Amino acid sequence: MGVDRQVRIGEKLLGVGLHPLVQTMYDEPIPHDGEALDALIRRIGSLNAMGCDIIRFSYPSSDDRIPFSYLCAKSPIPVVADIHFDHRLALEALEAGAHKIRINPGNVGARWKVDEILASAKDHGAAIRIGLNSGSLPKGNEEPAILMSNTALTYLDWFEQAGFTDTVVSLKASDETVTVEANRRFASQSGYPLHLGVTEAGSVVSSVVRSTWALGLLLSEGIGSTLRISITGPIETEVQAGVELLRTLGLRKRGIRIVSCPRCGRSTFDSQGFLASVEQDLLSIDKDLTVAIMGCQVNGPGEAKSADIAITGIGNAIFLYKGGKLERKVGAGEAKAALLEAVRNAE
């Protein structure tokens, strides 16, 4: 188990020494209507443009097999099936084309059921994530972090006995300290890739703070191959937070870095409203640029000159900067289009 392993999920390769990947989980039942499925494929494409590398879906019923198969075939990024309790659902998801499945062997049932899943995953060239949460561990007297790590090592031993090694492990707790301790302990004993996350972390502010602290520590120590910032909110926000964390740590280079002022009594331009209107579009542009959106004469011109592209609003005047130089004055109604055009055309 101590050998560093790399695991392929669709066209993505993850493991020690490779750049960590960003993951999210679709937050609604899989649609069965054709138009809704196509809309979901387009949404996945937008998530991919924002920096999402892998997407996971709950697979609670055989009724989802046909639309899930469509998603696996059409998605621009690897698709993961989240399975609980019924091992037959895991087999169905693999037959339907899942690039990876997530199971907790402890709630699948008898060991022979796990062995059937392993054999099918091997036949289909799919990976498996052993997903352990602190709230659903087997009984034991150890501290949660120790119990989580030891349980994962036990399951990995089962997998290796069956000749299966395309495995990812996740050890998540709502307590960020337990999450850090469990992953550190596991990483010191095994070279299998780890998927990182603080589970049930809450709304945007609480989740981003807790996850940044825990995952930032682990990633800065070279621990973690994929991550999810679990937020009670839009999955686009999860992706944005994950990408920004990797960029801040220097683990991902491309993508738009947004600089914007928090507003104050001097503000004469609605920078908050403007950012809300344009942020989704900016984050979907695959370029390595800094974009500033500023709202007053104190810091606005200075930040604009430091950014690749910038909008600075002063009173009724809105100024567009490129490469630190004033490009032109634009009207309020054309500012968004002018900014996006400048970013898309930037070299």
pLDDT for position 169? 96
pLDDT for position 152? 92
Closest to 102 measured CA to CA, from 68, 146, 132, 67: 132
The encoded tokens of residue 176 equal 């960020």
Tell me how far apart the alpha carbons of residues 135 and 221 are, in angstroms, rounded to a whole number: 26
Higher per-residue pLDDT: 301 or 320:
320
pLDDT for position 304? 65
pLDDT digits (tens, 9 = 90+) for 245-262: 999 999 988 778 888 877
Closest to 83 measured CA to CA, from 99, 63, 105: 105
Q: Which CATH number fits domain 255-345: 1.10.10.60, 3.30.413.10, 3.40.50.11290, 3.40.50.2020?
A: 3.30.413.10
For range 30-49, the mean pLDDT: 94
Name the residue ranges covered by the structural domains of the chain: 6-248, 255-345
For range 56-65, the mean pLDDT: 94
Tell me how far apart the alpha carbons of residues 241 and 149 are, in angstroms, rounded to a whole number: 26
| pTM, rounded to two decimals | 0.87
Dihedral sign, Cα of residue 262, residue 264, residue 266, residue 269: positive
Tell me how far apart the alpha carbons of residues 236 and 51 are, in angstroms, rounded to a whole number: 10
pLDDT for position 291? 87
SS3 string, the chain, reads CCCCCEEEECCEEEECCCCCEEEEECCCCCCCCHHHHHHHHHHHHHHHHHCCCEEEEECCCHHHHHHHHHHHHHCCCCEEEECCCCHHHHHHHHHCCCCEEEECHHHHCCHHHHHHHHHHHHHHCCEEEEEEEHHHCCCCCCCHHHHHHHHHHHHHHHHHHCCCCCEEEEEECCCHHHHHHHHHHHHCCCCCCEEECCCCCCCHHHHHHHHHHHHHHHHHCCCCCEECCCCCCCHHHHHHHHHHHHHHCCCCCCEEEEEECCCCCCCCCCHHHHHHHHHHHHHCCCCEEEEEEECCCCCHHHHHHHCCEEEEEECCEEEEEECCEEEEEECHHHHHHHHHHHHHHCC
pLDDT for position 312? 82
Q: How confident is the model at residue 2 (pLDDT cuts 50, 70, 90)?
A: low
163's torsion region: left (phi>0), alpha (psi -120 to 50) or beta? left
Structural contact between residues 82 and 59, judged by C-beta atoms closer than 8 angstroms: yes
Q: How confident is the model at residue 201 (pLDDT cuts 50, 70, 90)?
A: low
Is 70 exceeded by the pLDDT of residue 287? yes
Closest to 24 measured CA to CA, from 241, 244, 278: 241
- Tell me, which fold does domain 6-248 have in CATH? TIM Barrel (3.20.20)
Q: Phi and psi (nearest 5°) for 132?
A: -115, 125
Q: How confident is the model at residue 149 (pLDDT cuts 50, 70, 90)?
A: very high
Structural contact between residues 278 and 342, judged by C-beta atoms closer than 8 angstroms: no
Tell me how far apart the alpha carbons of residues 258 and 283 are, in angstroms, rounded to a whole number: 9
The encoded tokens of residue 251 equal 């683990």
pLDDT for position 303? 64
Query: What does the angle CA 131 – CA 134 – CA 138 come to, to the nearest 5 degrees?
Result: 80
For range 157-178, the mean pLDDT: 93
Is 80 exceeded by the pLDDT of residue 191? yes
Structural contact between residues 102 and 56, judged by C-beta atoms closer than 8 angstroms: yes
Is 90 exceeded by the pLDDT of residue 132? no
Tell me how far apart the alpha carbons of residues 203 and 201 are, in angstroms, rounded to a whole number: 7
pLDDT for position 297? 60
The encoded tokens of residue 13 equal 């390769």
Structural contact between residues 164 and 121, judged by C-beta atoms closer than 8 angstroms: yes
For range 114-133, the mean pLDDT: 94
pLDDT for position 172? 92
